[in-house]
Amino acid sequence: MIINGQSIKSVLYLFAFSFSLIFYCQGISQSSYPFQNPNLPINERIDDLMNRLTLEEKASMTLYNSPAIERLGIPEYNWWNEALHGVARAGKATVFPQAIGMAATFDEDLIERVSSAIADEARAKHNAAKAKGSYQQYTGLSFWTPNVNIYRDPRWGRGQETWGEDPYLTSMMGVAFVKGLQGDDPNHLKAAACAKHFAVHNGPEKTRHEFNAIPSEIDFHETYLPAFEALVKNGVAGVMCAYNQVYGSPCCGNTPLLKTILREQWGFDGYIVSDCWALSDFISFQKIVPDATDAAAMAVKAGVNLNCGTVYKSIPEAIKEGKITESELDAVLWPLLKTRIKLGLLDVGENLLYADIGPEVPGSEEHRQLAYEAAVKSVVLLKNKNQCLPLDLNEIHKIYVTGPTAADNAVLLGNYNGLSGQLVTLLEGIIQKVDAGTVVDYSMGALLNTDSVYHGIYHAGNSDVIIASIGNSRLLEGEEGDAMLSKSGGDRADIKLPENQVEFIRKLRQAGPDKKLIVVINGGGAIAFPEINDLADAVLFAWYPGEQGGKAIADLIFGDQNPSGRLPVTFYADTEDLPPFEDYSMKYRTYRYFSGEPLYAFGHGLSYTSFEYSDLKTNAEVFSTAEQIEVSLRISNSGNYEGEEVVQLYVKDTDPGPDRPIKSLKGIKRVFLKPGESQKVTFIIPLKDLRHWNTDIDEWKLNRGVYGIEVGASSVDIRQTISVKVIR
């Protein structure tokens, strides 16, 4: 029933929310204070509250699970919330593709729409929890996402959380995610994003609590830091310092990292949170300080505002012992109060911030369609021998669907995930797609990593098409302690698939040597599968594609959608192609420094149509005073399908010198074209983006000389080139 345009459900929800708010305000605080007045300037509100708090109350508000201060009408608040690819660990939510899958879309507009939807769901769930009087962990509005660490090595189990191996792509996608999550109101936050893990953090998982990363100065500034700086310059609310050490100092006690670089050089004015129990690592793993008071003092002096852990319970004692001062505590608390105020968490009165976002939002049809769009654009068509795909249902009588991930909900989710009642596996997607006259057989066929267990292979010989779904899952890779079947603490010791899966594909090919064999691979990063690549007619890499993954893959296989995903990481042919995992040098890593032959290159991805590149031009040949280079070209769809081309622009210094990249991505454009259409595409490259870190002067410097500009469909599929000369 509808009442004045609103459903009864919505009306009841608003009534319950209003009643609970009135009850809360009357029961705890009979009168409001200036710090609770949303009409006052933020600084006035913070000053008022700071003057009312005791030392112990101030210290309690620097803990992630901040208790209520009932005498002032301040509710408890838990800062620890996750939203890597949807509101996580809090029950019902739309599950979007894992971050590495969304990176494969190369689509910043899509990512901003996705994260805006996540923020809406976060507000809805927060409002609903608050209406019930619940302040549980994972019901808040401060989210410790996105993860903008560079995915330097595919063995890292948490690489799935990142936006790939490239600083430019990671920066672009990370900024888009932050903008969508936080909203565009300069005075308020829809939700608070947090850039993590600062800095130089990406495995191994087993030693992350004591590992000391020692990158070269060039790698530090040119690879590991740019994405963090980009997010800071675009207003990210928080930054999480990492567990590990950098240059011999723990990230969460590292004054040069947190104060000199983050605060002074970049101008960050948000809050810094420790990774969870990272301050305890000072004592137990890194053995830098003897006890909690010293750990608290070290972190406070470095500028850590919020402790995910318990060390900051010792702040009052540290002040009494003279290790820090109350004024230092005040400085630490200030950004936390500002963030809570911008989120509306301390407001009292009418017109509460985003209070009208109701419980119908999480898992809505609109968000489900957005998850579907993201899944479609994330899947990468790696191989398509003799135009095997798309399949024509009119020509197919029988399909055999098999493989350990074909009917597995877990491969849709990845890690740090929400839960949905709309999970569509690959098997379900195929069944929904085929007509009533098509026979579909299914068998799991093999397990993820158990040898000599195979089933249903005989179906391959009497089917027209074999669709085999294999790969990794959250059981084999993830964070320390989470990947139950990992023998490497969540990491992968070998980037190859388990041998039993390779043997499984061999058996399918042997049973159906003349059948179309389509292999769908799930995983959170680069996988080496050269033999499977040779055996299959078509290969699609699907990542962990979210709740609509099965529908998206089926629509791609049968041609209702045209693939447009691109690899955000290099796919190496063998683990032996990689340097030691513990080596944080970028030499021989990623497309920027790897000189070998990859299995599939960064940026690679096929389409059902073809695109032609022509007329590459720049606005000048020599640059002496201009601040930017303008590059234009024409893209034409010369094939038979409408589709999107992901046009990539790379720059290479023709005389790069030692420790410099082979080339670097500096521009991305997604272009949708119907058959026969063409479009002019323009890139603007700020000259400052061509700078390198100069170790002689410890500053960025634009080198004079000739720069090659390459435009193409991947880092190796270059279609047009041109050179410019910089003489500034």
CA quadruple 573, 524, 519, 498: dihedral sign = positive
- Asked if residue 272 lies in contact with residue 333, where contact means CB atoms within 8 angstroms, the answer is no
| Cα(75)–Cα(25) distance, integer angstroms | 10
How does strand 65-66 pair with strand 77-78?
antiparallel
At 651, is the secondary structure helix, strand, or coil?
strand
- Asked if residue 443 lies in contact with residue 455, where contact means CB atoms within 8 angstroms, the answer is yes
- Asked if residue 618 lies in contact with residue 723, where contact means CB atoms within 8 angstroms, the answer is no
Q: How far is CA 558 from CA 101, 340, 561, in A?
A: 21, 49, 8
| Cα(507)–Cα(457) distance, integer angstroms | 7
Phi and psi of 440, rounded to 5°? -125, 120
Strand partners of residue 668: 648
CA quadruple 528, 530, 531, 536: dihedral sign = positive
Mark residue 458 as left, alpha or beta (left: phi above 0; alpha: psi -120 to 50; beta: remaining): alpha
Q: How far is CA 571 from CA 86, 101, 433, in A?
A: 27, 14, 31
How does strand 380-384 pair with strand 538-541?
antiparallel
Q: Given the residues 219, 477, 537, 547, select the one marked as catalytic.
A: 477
Residue type, 3: I
The side-by-side arrangement of strands in the sheet containing 249-250 is: 212-213, 245-246, 249-250
Cβ neighbours around 365 below 10 Å, total: 9
103 CB-near residues (< 8 Å, 6+ apart): 162, 163, 164, 169, 170, 173, 568
| Cα(155)–Cα(205) distance, integer angstroms | 10
Residue type, 271: Y
Q: Given the residues 82, 108, 222, 275, select the one marked as catalytic.
A: 275
Q: Is 275 an annotated catalytic residue? A: yes
Q: How far is CA 412 from CA 78, 97, 299, 495, 550, in A?
A: 28, 8, 38, 20, 8
Nearest Cα neighbor of 1 from 11, 171, 598, 103 is: 11
Q: What is the DSSP string of 268-302?
A: --SEEEEPTTHHHHHHHTS--SSSHHHHHHHHHHH
78-107 CB burial, b ≥16 within 10 A, e <16: bbbbbbbbbbbbbebbbbbbbbbbbbbbbb
Q: Where are the alpha helices (H) located in 132-223, listed in sequence order?
A: 167-182, 217-219
Where do the DSSP E strands lie in 183-228?
Answer: 194-198, 212-213
Active-site residue numbers?
Answer: 275, 477
